[in-house]
Structure 1
Amino acid sequence: MEKIYELAIVGAGPAGIATAVESYLQGVCDIVLLEKDTNHNSTIRKYYKENKRVDLEWKGQKVELNGRIHFIDGTKETTLDFFDEILEEHLVELQTQVEVQSIEKKEDCFEVHMAGKSIKAKNVVVTIGRMGKPNKPSYKIPPSIRKKVNYTTDECSEGEKILVVGGGDSAVEYAVDLSQNNDVTICYRRESFRRANPTNQSNIADAIAHGDVRPLLGMNINGLEDDNGRVRVLFSEKEPESFDRVIYAIGGTTPSAFLASSGIEEKDGKPVHDEHYETNVKGLFVAGDITQESGGSIALGLNHGYDIARYIKGKSEV
């Protein structure tokens, strides 16, 4: 007979791993964790610079951990090591490089469709992070300069004139980090960096005060043009200016098309769910960043996993 998992989890970030581990500790058997990237926590691996702080709390949120995963503040490296250890300790089946395309409700289970294959599970939890789909500007980017327009710092070289667009933590961190070896400008449509956490607000203020980062605050961008291989940025409030590279750090979006294809309803840009994080499709849950106004809270993601695990275990005992 074809195997039917008790629980399939889409996305191997903190919320996904917490759901798997907490379910294992509750006695739920046959759990599979599905990740489209080559390893767990791809957002931390891709978007966090080396030695970047990873905090339990996010933007001052005070969250008491409810489950049995005792996460503490650390760095990018210690956080990845921590999740490596708990995955290994609890023998969670992790399948990587499998991108889930849709989730189909059957009579007695779900069929989780991936490229070239599918699996069946009685319960499914979607923990896809927003940063898996970074926000892009509304104006078109000319094909000839697309390689010079990025969403991470991976493509940057030393000695470049770089424009970072955004005012949150990622934008500020990119600007401060790149300013050590580059000519960096940060452009934000608001007059201050109040979206960033206090540490980053202090760091960007210092960088600006010392002339390491040039601020363009209260500025809007109307479009981009090719300037002989450089990126000409068209501003609303000032004359155009050309840069070697432009990096957009303007957040991420809920994967609405994926949620809709799985029958999950949305309201105000977030999936609809009850107090157990169960969606309008019974047995199909959501957890982590996509349930929040703005992602980032590891503590909330861990608690989501614990709550869902307890609820699924309780259902199985009825």
Structure 2
Amino acid sequence: MDKIYNLAIVGAGPAGIATAVESYLQGIRDIVLLEKDIKHNSTIRKYYKDNKRVDVEWKGQKVELDGNIYFIDGTKESTLDFFDEILDNHSVELQTQVEVQSIKKEDGYFEVFMAGSSIKAKYVVVTIGRMGKPNKPSYKIPPSIRKKINYTTDECSENEKILVVGGGDSAVEYAVDLSAKNDVTICYRRETFRRANPTNQRDISNAIMHKEVNPLLGIDIDGLEDENGKVKVLFCDETTDIYDRVIYAIGGTTPSAFLSSSGIQEEDGKPVHNDYYETNIEGLFVAGDITQESGGSIALGLNHGYAIACHIQNREC
């Protein structure tokens, strides 16, 4: 007979790991974590620069931790080590490089469909984040310059003329970091960097004051063109400029197609859920930054996992 897990968790980020570990500590067994990348916490690995601070308080949110996982301020590296350790210390099955395509409930159990395979589980928690699907500009990108349009700094080299688009923490950090070895401009549609945390606001102000980063504030972009293999940017004030590379750091989107295919209802760009993060489908939960309008803190994700674990255990008793 096919194995039926008690709990399947889609996404091995902070909320997913917390849900697994907190459920284990509640006495739940046969738990599986499903992760599409080769390791857990792919968002932190891909979108956080080396040695970036990772704080309990995120964008000024004060969050008291409810559960058994004691997370403290650290760096990208110490945070990844922390999640390595708690996974090693608890019997949770982690399957990597498996991308979940849809979830279907039938005969009281869920079937979680992946490419070429599926598993069954009594409960399912979806913890995929927004950053895994970065926002892209609404205007078309000419195919000939798509390799010059990026959403992280992975493709950057030295001595490039780079335009960073966005005004949040990632955009500011990209601009400041790249300015050490490149000619960097940051373009943001608002006049100030209010979305960034205080440390990043200070860093970008210093970089602009010392002419290390060129600011284009209060200006939007109308489109892009190919200019002999480089990126010609058309600004809304009818000016243009040419860059070797453009990096968009304008947030992420809820994976609506996946939620819809699984029957999860959305409202105002977020999945609908109750106080225990259970969706309109009984036994199917959501957790982490997918439940927030513009992402969420690690601490919130940990609390979501604890609340879900408690609710499932109470239902089983």
Q: Give the TM-score, by structure 1 length.
A: 0.99
CA deviation map 1:207-249 (0-9, x unaligned): 0000000000000100000000100000011411000000000
SS at match of 1:157: coil
Deviation at residue 92 of structure 1 after TM alignment: 1.2
Q: What residue identity is the alignment partner of 1:66? A: D
Deviation at residue 91 of structure 1 after TM alignment: 2.0
Q: What residue identity is the alignment partner of 1:218? A: G
CA deviation map 1:93-116 (0-9, x unaligned): 100000000000111200000001
Determine the structure 1 residue equivalent to 2:98. Answer: 98
Determine the structure 1 residue equivalent to 2:246. Answer: 246
Determine the structure 2 residue equivalent to 1:266. Answer: 266
Determine the structure 1 residue equivalent to 2:2. Answer: 2
Rounded Cα–Cα distance in structure 2 between residues aligned with 1:80 and 1:298? 12
Identity of aligned residues (%): 79
Determine the structure 2 residue equivalent to 1:281. Answer: 281
Determine the structure 2 residue equivalent to 1:183. Answer: 183
CA deviation map 1:22-59 (0-9, x unaligned): 00000001000000000000000000000000111111
Determine the structure 1 residue equivalent to 2:203. Answer: 203
Rounded Cα–Cα distance in structure 2 between residues aligned with 1:21 and 1:146? 41
Determine the structure 2 residue equivalent to 1:151. Answer: 151
Determine the structure 2 residue equivalent to 1:232. Answer: 232
Determine the structure 2 residue equivalent to 1:55. Answer: 55
Rounded Cα–Cα distance in structure 1 between residues aligned with 2:101 and 2:65? 32
Q: What residue identity is the alignment partner of 2:210? A: H
Aligned-residue CA RMSD (Å):
0.5
Deviation at residue 137 of structure 1 after TM alignment: 0.2
Deviation at residue 294 of structure 1 after TM alignment: 1.6
SS at match of 1:132: coil
Q: What residue identity is the alignment partner of 1:235? A: F
Q: Tell whether 2:114 aligns with 1:114.
A: yes
- Please give the residue correspondences for 1:290-309 in structure 2 after superposition, counting only pairs within 5 Å: 290-309=290-309
- Which ranges of structure 2 fall in alignment gaps of 5 or more residues? none
Rounded Cα–Cα distance in structure 2 between residues aligned with 1:142 and 1:314? 54
Q: What residue identity is the alignment partner of 1:137? A: P
Q: What residue identity is the alignment partner of 1:200? A: N
Rounded Cα–Cα distance in structure 2 between residues aligned with 1:236 and 1:139? 13
> Runs of 4+ in structure 1 displaced over 3 angstroms?
none
Rounded Cα–Cα distance in structure 2 between residues aligned with 1:98 and 1:39? 11
- The 1:116/1:287 distance shift into structure 2, 3 A limit, reads same
CA deviation map 1:53-83 (0-9, x unaligned): 0111111111100000000000000000000
Q: What residue identity is the alignment partner of 2:276? A: H
Q: Number of residues paired by the alignment?
A: 317
Q: What residue identity is the alignment partner of 2:94? A: L
SS at match of 1:131: coil
Determine the structure 2 residue equivalent to 1:216. Answer: 216
Deviation at residue 293 of structure 1 after TM alignment: 1.8
Rounded Cα–Cα distance in structure 1 between residues aligned with 2:169 and 2:238? 25
Determine the structure 2 residue equivalent to 1:25. Answer: 25
SS at match of 1:5: strand
Deviation at residue 192 of structure 1 after TM alignment: 0.3
Q: What residue identity is the alignment partner of 1:56? A: V
Rounded Cα–Cα distance in structure 2 between residues aligned with 1:179 and 1:7? 46
SS at match of 1:299: helix
SS at match of 2:246: strand
Q: What residue identity is the alignment partner of 1:79? A: T
Determine the structure 2 residue equivalent to 1:161. Answer: 161
- Which ranges of structure 1 fall in alignment gaps of 5 or more residues? none
SS at match of 1:29: coil
Q: Give the TM-score, by structure 2 length.
A: 0.99
Determine the structure 2 residue equivalent to 1:140. Answer: 140
